[in-house]
Amino acid sequence: MTKGIPEKCKKCAMLSAAQAQELHGNDGDSCWNPAVCYSRRSYALHRDRRNLVRARKRGDSDESLVVNIDEFASIF
């Protein structure tokens, strides 16, 4: 199982970038890291929508797969 996004980052993602930098930057709790925070905030903001789109694509797949057993008879 993957490591989830910290709750603090999820809440921070709801703020504008300027607000987040002010709250978590040098004047705040100093947790703002530009190398990580921009992409993590984007991921937290859009992950539900992206996962929904991904799930819909999986659900729309064609389930009428036809396999010719004669081609695989030599394997078994």
Contacts of residue 26, defined as CB under 8 A and 6 or more positions apart, other chains included, come to 32
Residue 42 has what pLDDT? 93
What confidence category does residue 5 fall into, taking pLDDT thresholds of 50, 70 and 90? confident
Reported as a single tens digit per residue, the pLDDT across 7-25 is 999 999 999 999 999 999 9
Reported as a single tens digit per residue, the pLDDT across 19-76 is 999 999 988 899 999 999 999 999 999 999 999 999 988 887 666 777 788 877 777 6
Residue 53 has what pLDDT? 93
Closest listed residue to residue 40, CA positions, set 8, 73, 2: 8
Question: HEC states along the chain?
Answer: CCCCCCHHHHHHHCCCHHHHHHHHCCCCCCCCCHHHHHHHHHHHHHHHHHHHHHHHHHHCCCCCCCCCHHHHCCCC
